[in-house]
Amino acid sequence: MSFQIIDGNALAKKIRLEIASRTAALVKKGIKPGLAVLLVGEDPASQVYVRNKVKACEEAGMHSLLERLPADLTEDALLKRIHELNLDPCIHGILVQLPLPKHLNSHIVIESIAPEKDVDGFHVANAGALMIGAPIFRPCTPYGCMKMLESIDYPIRGARAVIVGASNIVGKPMAMLLLQAGATVTICNSKTKDLSAHTKEADILVVATGRPKMITADMVKPGAVVIDVGINRMDDGKLCGDVDFESVKSVASAMTPVPGGVGPMTITMLLLNTLEAAERL
């Protein structure tokens, strides 16, 4: 059976060119899409993520604002800053990098972002809009996964989709997007009994658990399309996904690699959401 790698870097590059050209058209009309990224504290992984987001924004011709805030910032001070950004006409998207320091309640913080600037799509208003099939912002990682399925012309309608992982930022919104596209969807979590009985039924298998290489070839239906969202840093410093790529590639028909799969698509969808927020004005 033929096997295809779904190249997230190549697809992200193509979509970013389209975004840059739409951004340039908007700039000509006097609107420069702007993204504010708030980083509280000095978590090293978060520092890398926010730098990459800001760099991507600039490369697309957008305005970006990176605010590094002290780890002991009070919740009131953070909410006040978000409120100012909600009112700032140069800012179309606001992103608060998670995780936040423990003394800050991430739910309260996310809910303080104006829904029309919530480019991560995590606000309950946006989660609800997605739930009823009328999304305004699709959360970036699942949105990127959908674009990857689209890129291989996968016939989602009527397909059996299984998602392993049920987080609010990946698993659940992924399920909603697949359902909306006509798939029959199962969501599995850590309590699921006989996980492989479910995964083996999947025409589309999406894995987002944070458990390195937990999906092996014997758990995958021959010919399935496998989307590996996991990003795990191993002891040798290398990154790997939640799927055992080497074994699963002998069974799947198409699969995303780690690195170079879903990761670059996530940032690309953040740009797209920011652009669309500015275009809606």
**Residue 26 interacting with ligand NDP (CB under 6 A):** no
Task: Name the H helices within 60-111.
Answer: 75-87, 106-111
Among 21, 74, 105, 189, the residue binding ligand NDP under the rule CB under 6 A is 189
Considering the candidates 29, 43, 72, 97, report the single residue annotated as catalytic: 97
**Residue 196 interacting with ligand NDP (CB under 6 A):** no
For the CA atoms of 149, 153, 158, 164, the dihedral, rounded to the nearest 10 degrees, stands at: -20
Name the residue nearer to ligand NDP (CB basis): 135 or 263.
263
Find the binding residues for ligand NDP in span 229-248 (CB under 6 A). 229-232
**Residue 170 interacting with ligand NDP (CB under 6 A):** yes
Which residue spans within the chain are E strands per DSSP? 4-5, 34-40, 63-69, 93-96, 160-164, 184-188, 204-207, 225-228, 232-233, 239-240, 254-255
**Residue 273 interacting with ligand NDP (CB under 6 A):** no
**Residue 127 interacting with ligand NDP (CB under 6 A):** no
Name the residue nearer to ligand NDP (CB basis): 26 or 97.
97
State phi, psi for 138 to the nearest 5 degrees. Answer: -90, 130
The contacts of residue 275 (CB under 8 Å, 6+ apart) are 19, 22, 23, 26, 33, 60, 62
Which DSSP letter does residue 219 get? G
Q: What gap in Å lies between CA 187 and CA 22, rounded to an integer? A: 35
Name the residue nearer to ligand NDP (CB basis): 46 or 167.
167
Question: Segment contacting ligand NDP (CB under 6 A): 55-63, 64-72, 79-87, 204-212?
Answer: 204-212
Q: What gap in Å lies between CA 30 and CA 28, rounded to an integer? A: 5
**Residue 33 interacting with ligand NDP (CB under 6 A):** no
Which amino acids are annotated catalytic? 53, 97, 120
> Binding residues for ligand NDP, per CB under 6 A?
141, 164-167, 169-171, 188-192, 195, 208-211, 214, 229-232, 262-263, 266
